[in-house]
Amino acid sequence: MFGYDVMYTPETSDEQLLEIAQKEQRILLTRDFELYRRAMLNGIQAFFIASTDIKDALSSIIKRFNIKAEINPERSRCPSCNSPLSKAKLEEIAHKVPKSVLERYNEFWICTNPSCGKVYWRGSHWRNIIKTLHAIENQ
């Protein structure tokens, strides 16, 4: 959501994760210390996330990689498939969201991946994420 190209593959084996990270020059983020250790021993960039608390984990990632904790939909990527988002026209998304959403919001973004096509708007979920980011910044 911060605009970075990321992958999340919970069903992937450790060996596959290491291979992908190495091949695609990705940074491996993990709570699995053994996986972190193996990555480091193989020269793969990795970051061990010690906390299981989502706010603490996100805070440590933001601090470690000097990430600006803001969501800009013009730079954001789809949280589901990692594709870029684009500003959507009302007629483009009208059939994809509840009528009540169309009545309350006038700005929408859509995933550019045709097989995903999820639609996003600044609703309550968005506001909750912003609150979480502000709480992290004020830690």
- pLDDT above 70 covers a percentage of the chain that reads 100
Residue 138 has pLDDT above 80, yes or no: no
pLDDT digits (tens, 9 = 90+) for 31-48: 999 999 999 999 999 999
Domain residues for the domain of 18 are 7-68
pLDDT for 7: 87
Query: Looking at the 3D structure of the chain, how many domains does it have?
Result: 2
pLDDT digits (tens, 9 = 90+) for 59-99: 999 999 998 888 888 889 999 999 999 999 999 999 999 99
83 lies in the same domain as 126: yes
By C-alpha distance, which of 48, 67, 45 is closest to 57? 48
Give domain status of residue 78, yes or no.
yes
- Tell me the average pLDDT across 19-27: 97
45 lies in the same domain as 61: yes
Q: What is the DSSP string of 35-93?
A: HHHHHHHTT--EEE----SHHHHHHHHHHHTT------TTT-B-TTT-PBEEEE-HHHH
Instruction: State the pLDDT confidence band at 115, using cuts at 50, 70 and 90.
Output: very high
- pLDDT above 90 covers a percentage of the chain that reads 72
User: What pTM, to 2 d.p., does this model score?
Assistant: 0.78
Give domain status of residue 2, yes or no.
no
Residue 1 has pLDDT above 90, yes or no: no
78 lies in the same domain as 132: yes
Instruction: State the pLDDT confidence band at 2, using cuts at 50, 70 and 90.
Output: confident
